[in-house]
């Protein structure tokens, strides 16, 4: 009888997301007698050690770095499945060089993150934070001073227009927006037309939007590229929202814009660093809504993230490709094809 397939699960789930992955593993993996799973030590912010993932053919990764030192010389690992969609902590070049496929959970985060964006748009537009404070302090007499904005006729601009951006505009459909703007050099114009979105320059997004939403990935190209120059272009009545990654924004410039009243406020589910120090200027700002990189963390997201991660690994064990591969260039590499063929042959030996 061939040896069982082994899945390594990040120990980060025990602290950062307890109880979220286990039900999915119990549903999808435990009934398979030829597949085992175990937690591995994901470390404390440092790159995962190579010895921690030795012996696993697939791993489910959460929030730790995975670099060249993690995977160098690992001849067994075939697939790293991210519990989520962001992979800025994964060295994709190192994965490719070591014949390891990186898979993400695109469908799992699309709707929960879009819902999180909608939550921040509505909370900022209605000045929910200010109205909450009036009730808590007994100042009902000031409620006229916290009048909000209706979304009808307003312009929403998306920096980046992938799956989340498209879902965001779909959810905003009933609100009778004025214009839908997007800046994305990689977006197919036909898809923009189908979503009734105008493709415009980055500067146009910031000049003309009532709500600027960050929907792009963190890359070397996008790191810190939303800065003071762009904030200076915004309307003083406009709001900035970031649910993507904190380092995409030059945070000092954002703080300066908020302090100067250059923009009306911000909704931030991501910041830099995380956790945000309690003495950071953003903490004390009453026109800022903050969330601990968890506004999209819902029962739906937990279930789908775990399901897609498990299904990605099971697909690779069967010699197939997962639904959402990232480093597609690895697929035709002889080393990866050899891993895939070997795994498929073992799967067949179990008669499944």
Nearest to 76 by CA among 278, 315, 255, 339: 339
274 is catalytic: yes
Catalytic residue among 274, 286, 329, 349: 274
Question: How do the residues of the chain divide into helix, strand and coil, expressed in percent and rounded to 5?
Answer: 40, 15, 40
> Side by side, which strands form the sheet with 101-103?
35-40, 5-10, 58-61, 79-82, 101-103
**Catalytic residue check, 293:** yes
Catalytic residue among 82, 180, 245, 346: 245
Name the CA radius of gyration of the chain, rounded.
22
Q: Where are the beta strands (DSSP E) in the chain?
A: 5-10, 35-40, 58-61, 79-82, 101-103, 155-159, 179-183, 198-199, 211-214, 239-242, 265-268, 288-290
Residue 227 to residue 121: CA distance in whole angstroms: 21
Six token digits for residue 140: 């009902």
Classified as helix, coil or strand, 260 is helix
Q: Report d(CA 32, CA 144) in Å as an integer.
A: 61
Total residue count of the chain as it appears in this document: 352
- Separation of alpha carbons 156 and 182, rounded Å: 8
Q: Which H or E run includes 167?
A: helix 163-171
Identify the active-site residue in 110, 207, 293, 346: 293
CA proximity to 295, closest of 134, 116, 106 = 116
Give helix then strand counts, H and E, for the chain: 13, 12
Residue 183 catalytic?
no
- Give the strand pairing for 211-214 and 288-290: unpaired
Catalytic residues: 245, 274, 293
């Amino acid at each position: 009888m061939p040896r069982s397939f082994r899945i390594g699960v990040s120990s980060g789930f025990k602290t950062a997301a307890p109880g979220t992955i286990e039900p999915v593993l119990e549903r999808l993996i435990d009934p398979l007698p030829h597949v085992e799973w175990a937690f591995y030590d994901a470390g404390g912010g440092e790159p995962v050690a190579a010895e921690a993932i030795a012996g696993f053919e697939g791993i489910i990764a959460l929030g730790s770095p995975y670099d060249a030192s993690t995977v160098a010389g690992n001849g067994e690992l075939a697939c790293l499945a991210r519990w989520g969609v962001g992979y800025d902590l994964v060295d994709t070049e190192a994965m490719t060089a070591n014949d390891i496929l990186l898979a993400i959970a695109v469908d799992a985060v699309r709707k929960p993150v879009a819902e999180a964006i909608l939550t921040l748009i509505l909370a900022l537009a209605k000045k929910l934070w200010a109205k909450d404070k009036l009730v808590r302090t007994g100042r009902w007499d000031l409620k006229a001073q916290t009048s909000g904005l209706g979304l009808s006729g307003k312009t929403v601009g998306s920096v980046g227009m992938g799956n989340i951006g498209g879902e965001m505009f779909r959810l905003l459909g009933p609100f009778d927006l004025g214009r839908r703007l997007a800046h994305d050099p990689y977006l197919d114009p036909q898809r923009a037309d189908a979503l009734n979105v105008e493709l415009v320059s980055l500067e146009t997004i910031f000049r003309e939007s009532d709500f600027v939403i960050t929907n792009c990935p963190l890359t070397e190209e996008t790191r810190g590229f939303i800065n003071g120059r762009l904030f200076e272009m915004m309307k003083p009545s406009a709001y900035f929202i970031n649910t993507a990654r904190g380092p995409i924004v030059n945070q000092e410039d954002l703080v300066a814009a908020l302090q100067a009243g250059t923009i009306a406020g911000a909704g931030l589910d991501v910041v830099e660093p995380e956790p945000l120090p309690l003495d950071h200027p953003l903490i004390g700002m009453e026109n800022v809504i903050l969330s601990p990189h968890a506004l999209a963390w819902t029962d739906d997201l937990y279930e789908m993230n775990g399901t897609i991660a498990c299904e990605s690994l099971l697909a690779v064990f069967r010699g197939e490709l997962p639904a959402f591969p990232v480093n597609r260039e690895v697929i035709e590499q002889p080393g990866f094809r050899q891993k895939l063929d070997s795994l498929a042959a073992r799967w067949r030996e179990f008669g499944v």
